[in-house]
Chain A
């Protein structure tokens, strides 16, 4: 290593007092640096290079700084390793646990209060900071006389179940059973208490041996005992045990309160206990077991069936809803009488008169309103009339005419005709041409666009199919049948697509058929009449040969009356 001497040598400086100066420095530095002259944090070799002079760069003695200790404004709460007694225990076992030390109080006192903060109890085995001291204090002699008698918060979980209790006489009187000895019953009740009515466990541990057998198997193992039990009577099942226990419970309840004096809850409980049926229970378990042992295929099949059922039920509701909707449409209520009362021509005429009277008495400007009420198609005329100022009388007249026209057109039942009627009046009164030429349609176009005019529209929805059906119906069943045969003869199918034209043709056809049937009837009648007459004539001729003219006269009168009574019906 290069010392300051070497450096001096290299730099051509005189090697003088320098070693003498550095030597004590080194010693001081080695002595612990208590004087503080030697900067710390530098290598010895590096320091040696400095020589006498101070280094050109100030060597700052950097001290490591740490974060300041956090300022806490509270004292950490002390905990102590304190003994406690669990009141659920009868033997007064003293155990110790960590509890928060209440301020200004000694170990005993308010343990229960402190225990409330148990959630953040430190590890019980660990030594706390001041716990160590407390341990010494509480460990030995203090324990004996300074045990807190405050309630232990977990003692409340020491639950005891109420088992039925009875005296010997009660047992002899009410609870005797051929199947169960007193000894075994007591054993059962003890087990039920011991295992808190957990029946699977009770049935599992049930291992009753009467006194004589007990003695010999006392020190045997579990296997021995089980073997012994197998050798004896068939083991009792959980259901047998339950049945016996519930029976006893019910009897004890009866002894305490007669059945007639029980309140509803008690009575229900008593019913439940008294009616416990081990056979039914056994059957239920068998069924449950079968359910458990189903194969995969069976499960799959059941699932499929269930899905199918589900589908059917959901669809059924949907179908029914749809059907109900259609029915509701078909059986729509007739429109209110307000709009319905002007459907006959007389009614319309009355309305017109009414309006006409109103028109007279009221101002002219209001006239368009009832005209509107009459029908939409006259509104065009009304606006046309209002459009020409200064010709009020004529326009009023025109209006009246239009009203008349509309009344007439309403009778004719055509929108197109209405405007046509209006046009007839129009030129005479210098009326402008109607604004809706599209309303006038050639019959061809009307047919093409399916525009139809109706004299009278019945409200509500009807099906043309129904109309066809109706056409086929006659008043009498015989007639209906006859129409049907005629249609069949003509080769008309039962169901045809009921377009308007088809309906019309159908109606015409049916009309013709009816007429034909009537004619046929008349013909038949006349033929019959003729036959009768001929037969009578034959008789008469025969009589005539005998020569009697008076009777002939009478006969003719009779025939006349018959004919009058039954005139041939032409419909």
Chain B
């Protein structure tokens, strides 16, 4: 009772008590760009599957066929459409397809053949063959894809309760997992950096989010998100390409059969594939994105300062300085190539400075409060002054788009300029895998801890309380 009660006191476990106890749990971390799945306790997800999937509707076949995985969706086929089951905020929109995609991510590399039977069955279901009652009966007795493994799933901090309930339903009822847990991506990313209190800045593909995490719990009111993320940078590059004189041709790989070397800036001399049909616009766009990803990885750089790209010292634009810097060459798949100088800074500057974003009539400039420093500031303003100092000393930068060259340095400069008083300490994992798959990694760490196994929502609990239990338990 109140006798031994001491408020605000917790005791850390002993050093040798931080031992893992692995129960072959599977960690599934769906993102807008890729879905990561792997066994808890490992340092890399074994299965990384693109979230984009193909809907293939051959003219002779009756129903559409869903294509999952890197190997299936990059072949130009007639009537192949590429779609993403998530909306622009990373929330599941097409729950059925998402479930199949997730299952593919798990079964294709982790649990093996048990899933493939189901995939065939799905194909039949989607086809015109009427649902087979006997198959369903047989499926209950047969091994479900996750019958042996507890499943830890991740979700963005702003996920809707409906989507969460759907997730546990799929996991327990369809996949037959004995135990389930839904972790927040921000919290898990903080864990992957070895921190229980952190300000997680996650630059993903569709969304950039800032999540304050205090003592292993995210602070809901502090979550801020904006669409200025990887896809935004891609769109900026597209605009830059379109607006440059002459326009930069963006040719995806699949069109090019062979190419010959040409001088910089001269039109490409390549032989193109003849398909006899026009691959769908979504397919082309998806393939163009791959080229843009390459461009982002090799050319785009975040302006390193001093000052912002648009407002240089004494009113002069840093653009002039940037033009004097050494450029970086880029060659399109068809051989067209050019050295990019100031453009490469322009593409990513919109993340920090809303005025610097490249705009077009159909693409309005971002709001000032969507930029990264403002996002962080807004998030910090919701927190207590005591917590704020702790968060500022533990800023964790993760996400694939944070790998943009020079982004962390720039962010550090912006933050130290914004917060002169408290000490700002930025932490960004050095390795690409840790940066890209931070939330998966955090889940992998968490689900392999012996002390975590009391947290799982078991099948029994689910059956007792219904899917709403996920709201009570996974907070």
A residues at B contact (CB < 8 Å): 86, 88-89, 91-98, 115, 118-119, 121, 123-125, 152-155, 157-159, 161-165, 194-201, 203-205, 219, 221-222, 226, 238, 245-246, 249, 252-253, 256, 266, 269, 273, 285-286, 288-289, 291-296, 299
Contacts of A222 in B (CB 8 A): 158, 160, 220
The docked-state distance in angstroms from the alpha carbon of A92 to that of B162 is: 28
The docked-state distance in angstroms from the alpha carbon of A163 to that of B5 is: 8
Indicate if the CB atoms of B454 and A89 lie closer than 8 Å. yes
The docked-state distance in angstroms from the alpha carbon of A238 to that of B23 is: 38
Q: A96-B24, A97-B21, A222-B158 are known contacts. Are A294 and B220 too (CB-CB below 8 A)?
A: no
Complex interface bits, B222-247 against A, C-beta within 8 A gives 1, otherwise 0:
10000000000000000000000000
Indicate if the CB atoms of B454 and A204 lie closer than 8 Å. no
The minimal Cβ–Cβ distance linking A81 to chain B, given in whole angstroms, is 8
Complex interface bits, B444-473 against A, C-beta within 8 A gives 1, otherwise 0:
000011110110101111000000000000
Indicate if the CB atoms of B2 and A200 lie closer than 8 Å. no
The minimal Cβ–Cβ distance linking A200 to chain B, given in whole angstroms, is 5
The minimal Cβ–Cβ distance linking B376 to chain A, given in whole angstroms, is 14
Which residues, 131 to 183 on B, are CB-close (under 8 Å) to A? Answer: 148, 150, 158, 160-162, 178-179
Contacts of B5 in A (CB 8 A): 161-164, 249
Which of A157, A200, A221, A299 is close to B384, meaning CB atoms less than 8 Å apart?
Answer: A200
Q: A124-B448, A221-B160 are known contacts. Are A162 and B150 too (CB-CB below 8 A)?
A: no
Indicate if the CB atoms of A157 and B10 lie closer than 8 Å. no
5 contacts between A and B (CB under 8 A): A88-B454, A118-B20, A121-B22, A162-B3, A292-B419
The minimal Cβ–Cβ distance linking B199 to chain A, given in whole angstroms, is 13
The minimal Cβ–Cβ distance linking B187 to chain A, given in whole angstroms, is 11
Contacts of A195 in B (CB 8 A): 217
Contacts of B19 in A (CB 8 A): 118-119, 154
Chain B, Cβ-Cβ closest to A294:
B421
Contacts of A286 in B (CB 8 A): 385
Q: Quick check: which of B271-279, B284-292, B386-394, B429-437 contacts chain A, the rest being far away?
A: B386-394
B420 lies within 8 A of chain A by Cβ: yes
Indicate if the CB atoms of A226 and B460 lie closer than 8 Å. no
Indicate if the CB atoms of B451 and A197 lie closer than 8 Å. no
Contacts of B458 in A (CB 8 A): 89, 91, 93
The minimal Cβ–Cβ distance linking B18 to chain A, given in whole angstroms, is 10
Indicate if the CB atoms of A124 and B23 lie closer than 8 Å. yes
The docked-state distance in angstroms from the alpha carbon of A163 to that of B6 is: 10
Top 5 A-B pairs, shortest CB-CB distance: A124-B22, A154-B450, A88-B454, A93-B458, A125-B39
The docked-state distance in angstroms from the alpha carbon of A273 to that of B178 is: 44
Q: A88-B454, A93-B460 are known contacts. Are A204 and B220 too (CB-CB below 8 A)?
A: yes
The minimal Cβ–Cβ distance linking B456 to chain A, given in whole angstroms, is 6
How many B residues are at the interface, by size bracket?
35 or more
Indicate if the CB atoms of A201 and B219 lie closer than 8 Å. yes
Contacts of B323 in A (CB 8 A): none
The docked-state distance in angstroms from the alpha carbon of A253 to that of B7 is: 13
Contacts of A292 in B (CB 8 A): 385, 388-389, 419, 421-422
Indicate if the CB atoms of A299 and B10 lie closer than 8 Å. no
B96 lies within 8 A of chain A by Cβ: no
Which of A121, A162, A200 is close to B21, meaning CB atoms less than 8 Å apart?
Answer: A121
Chain B, Cβ-Cβ closest to A255:
B2
Indicate if the CB atoms of B454 and A124 lie closer than 8 Å. no
Contacts of A201 in B (CB 8 A): 214-215, 217, 219
B13 lies within 8 A of chain A by Cβ: yes
Contacts of A96 in B (CB 8 A): 23-24, 148
Contacts of A245 in B (CB 8 A): 7
Complex interface bits, B1-16 against A, C-beta within 8 A gives 1, otherwise 0:
1111111101001000
- Give the one of B7, B217, B456, B475 with max A CB within 10 A: B7
Indicate if the CB atoms of A198 and B217 lie closer than 8 Å. yes
B116 lies within 8 A of chain A by Cβ: no
Indicate if the CB atoms of A154 and B453 lie closer than 8 Å. yes
Q: A154-B453, A157-B451 are known contacts. Are A288 and B217 too (CB-CB below 8 A)?
A: no
The minimal Cβ–Cβ distance linking A158 to chain B, given in whole angstroms, is 5
Q: A123-B41, A226-B221, A238-B384 are known contacts. Are A256 and B21 too (CB-CB below 8 A)?
A: no
Indicate if the CB atoms of A299 and B450 lie closer than 8 Å. no
Chain B, Cβ-Cβ closest to A253:
B2
Contacts of B114 in A (CB 8 A): none
- Give the one of B6, B17, B448, B450 with max A CB within 10 A: B450
The minimal Cβ–Cβ distance linking A294 to chain B, given in whole angstroms, is 5
Indicate if the CB atoms of B386 and A205 lie closer than 8 Å. no
B residues at A contact (CB < 8 Å): 1-8, 10, 13, 17, 19-25, 39-42, 110, 148, 150, 158, 160-162, 178-179, 214-215, 217, 219-222, 383-389, 419-422, 448-451, 453-454, 456, 458-461, 475
Q: A157-B451, A204-B220 are known contacts. Are A97 and B23 too (CB-CB below 8 A)?
A: yes
Indicate if the CB atoms of A92 and B460 lie closer than 8 Å. yes
The docked-state distance in angstroms from the alpha carbon of A221 to that of B221 is: 13
The docked-state distance in angstroms from the alpha carbon of A285 to that of B389 is: 12
Indicate if the CB atoms of A157 and B8 lie closer than 8 Å. no
The docked-state distance in angstroms from the alpha carbon of A89 to that of B150 is: 15
The minimal Cβ–Cβ distance linking A335 to chain B, given in whole angstroms, is 62
Indicate if the CB atoms of B39 and A162 lie closer than 8 Å. no
Contacts of A161 in B (CB 8 A): 5
Contacts of B4 in A (CB 8 A): 162
- Give the one of B158, B162, B388, B420 with max A CB within 10 A: B420
Contacts of A118 in B (CB 8 A): 19-21, 450
Contacts of B40 in A (CB 8 A): 124
Contacts of B450 in A (CB 8 A): 118, 152-154
The docked-state distance in angstroms from the alpha carbon of A205 to that of B10 is: 20
Contacts of B383 in A (CB 8 A): 200
Which of B2, B8, B460 is close to A91, meaning CB atoms less than 8 Å apart?
Answer: B460
- Give the one of B4, B160, B215, B384 with max A CB within 10 A: B384
Q: A221-B161, A292-B385, A299-B420 are known contacts. Are A252 and B20 too (CB-CB below 8 A)?
A: no
The docked-state distance in angstroms from the alpha carbon of A228 to that of B39 is: 41
The docked-state distance in angstroms from the alpha carbon of A308 to that of B226 is: 47
Indicate if the CB atoms of B22 and A98 lie closer than 8 Å. yes
Contacts of B387 in A (CB 8 A): 200
The docked-state distance in angstroms from the alpha carbon of A155 to that of B452 is: 9
Contacts of A293 in B (CB 8 A): 421
The minimal Cβ–Cβ distance linking B49 to chain A, given in whole angstroms, is 18
Contacts of A204 in B (CB 8 A): 214, 219-222
The docked-state distance in angstroms from the alpha carbon of A293 to that of B8 is: 27
Indicate if the CB atoms of A285 and B179 lie closer than 8 Å. no
Chain A, Cβ-Cβ closest to B26:
A125
Which of A200, A219, A249, A295 is close to B214, meaning CB atoms less than 8 Å apart?
Answer: A200
The minimal Cβ–Cβ distance linking B63 to chain A, given in whole angstroms, is 34
Which of A119, A157, A221, A249 is close to B7, meaning CB atoms less than 8 Å apart?
Answer: A249
The minimal Cβ–Cβ distance linking A461 to chain B, given in whole angstroms, is 56
Q: Other CB < 8 Å A-B pairs besides A124-B24, A157-B13, A292-B422, 16 of them?
A: A91-B460, A96-B24, A97-B22, A125-B42, A154-B450, A155-B454, A161-B5, A162-B3, A162-B5, A164-B1, A198-B214, A204-B214, A205-B220, A221-B160, A292-B385, A299-B420
Indicate if the CB atoms of B21 and A123 lie closer than 8 Å. no
Indicate if the CB atoms of B385 and A95 lie closer than 8 Å. no
Indicate if the CB atoms of B39 and A124 lie closer than 8 Å. yes
Contacts of B25 in A (CB 8 A): 124
Contacts of B420 in A (CB 8 A): 294-296, 299
Which of A95, A164, A291 is close to B179, meaning CB atoms less than 8 Å apart?
Answer: A95
The minimal Cβ–Cβ distance linking A69 to chain B, given in whole angstroms, is 31
The docked-state distance in angstroms from the alpha carbon of A519 to that of B158 is: 110
The docked-state distance in angstroms from the alpha carbon of A346 to that of B99 is: 122
The docked-state distance in angstroms from the alpha carbon of A288 to that of B392 is: 14
The minimal Cβ–Cβ distance linking A438 to chain B, given in whole angstroms, is 73
Contacts of B41 in A (CB 8 A): 123-125
Chain B, Cβ-Cβ closest to A139:
B148
Chain A, Cβ-Cβ closest to B456:
A93
Q: A93-B178, A285-B386, A292-B422 are known contacts. Are A86 and B24 too (CB-CB below 8 A)?
A: no
Contacts of B456 in A (CB 8 A): 89, 93, 95
